Amino acid sequence: MESELVRKLKKEILEMQGIKPMTHNRSVETGLGPVHHAFPYGVFPIGIHEFVSQEPEEAAATTGFMAGLISKLVRNDGTCLWIGNRRKIFPPGLNYFGVNPERIIFVEAVRNADLVWMLEQALRCEALGLVIGEMADMDPGQARRLQLTVEQCRVSCFLHRYRPRIASASYAVCRWRVKPLPGHTEEGLPGVGFPAWEVSLDKVRNGYPGSWKLQWVEDHFEFEQTAERKTGKSALLHIA
C-alpha cells in the first residue's frame, strides 16, 4: 500500500522535473537491455540526450550508436532532422544501422545561433520522429530554452557535441560517451567483426550512471557482458 503511494509520489516528482517517458507513455524497445536499468523507471527518457566525443574516431562511433538508436526509436517511416554545421555523414553508411537515409533531412546551418533556433523550431514540429543536432557548444541560456521546448513538445533530441570547450552543462537528461572497441572475431578468421563500443552513461537525471560494452549485430545491440553498474547513489531523492 505504502509502496504504491511512494511510487505515485515519485512519479509526480519526476513529472514536475520534466522527466517523461518517451513516445506517449508507450515504453519503446530500444534493444538496450541492461542499460534500461539506468533510466528512471527503466524507460528511455524523453529530452535532450547529449553525446560527447573528442576524436574523429569517437565521433564516428557515436554517430553509429546514435544511428542504431534512431533505427529503434523512430517508427518505420518517421522523418528525422539532422542539423549541423559541417556535414560529414556519409548517407549510405547509415543503412548499416538500419536507418534509411531517405528518411533523414540534413540541414546545414551557417551560424551557431541559427542552429539552436532551428533545433528549437524542429522540436516544436510534432511530425518529426527525432531531431539530431551537431554542435560543440551552446550557452546555458540557449540550453535551458531547448530543454524547456523538449519538455513541452515530446520530441526527443540527440545532441552530438564534438570537442566541446565546456565539458558539462546541466540541461541534458542523459550524457553519453561512446568509445570504439576492438571488434570480436573468431580466432583465425579474417575480418574486423561487428562494430563494438564502450557506451558510458556519464549522467542520467534521476537514474544510475553506468558503462556497458556492446556491439551492433545485424539489426540490434548485443551486450558482451553484463553491465558493470557503478555504485551511483540514487539520484531519485536528490531533488534540487
- List residues near other proteins by CB under 8 A: 55-57, 59-61, 63-65, 67, 75-79, 81, 83, 87-97, 100-102, 104-111, 114, 117-118, 121-122, 124-128, 179-183, 185, 190-193, 195-197, 216
Smallest gap from residue 116 Cβ to other proteins (A): 11
Q: Considering the complex, state which of residue 44 and residue 97 has its C-beta at the smaller distance from other proteins.
A: 97
Smallest gap from residue 191 Cβ to other proteins (A): 5
d(CA 221, CA 240): 34
Q: Considering the complex, state which of residue 140 and residue 183 has its C-beta at the smaller distance from other proteins.
A: 183
Residue-wise DSSP of 9-33? HHHHHHHHTT--BTTTTPPP--S-G
In degrees rounded to 5, what are phi and psi of residue 229? -75, 130
Best CA proximity match to 201, nearest among 232, 235, 176: 176
Smallest gap from residue 168 Cβ to other proteins (A): 25
Distances (CA, A) of 116 to 25, 33, 129, 130, 167: 27, 32, 18, 15, 18
d(CA 82, CA 94): 13
Q: Considering the complex, state which of residue 84 and residue 207 has its C-beta at the smaller distance from other proteins.
A: 84
Smallest gap from residue 46 Cβ to other proteins (A): 19
Q: How far is CA 22 from the centre of its chain?
A: 12
Q: Considering the complex, state which of residue 25 and residue 76 has its C-beta at the smaller distance from other proteins.
A: 76
Q: Considering the complex, state which of residue 181 and residue 235 has its C-beta at the smaller distance from other proteins.
A: 181
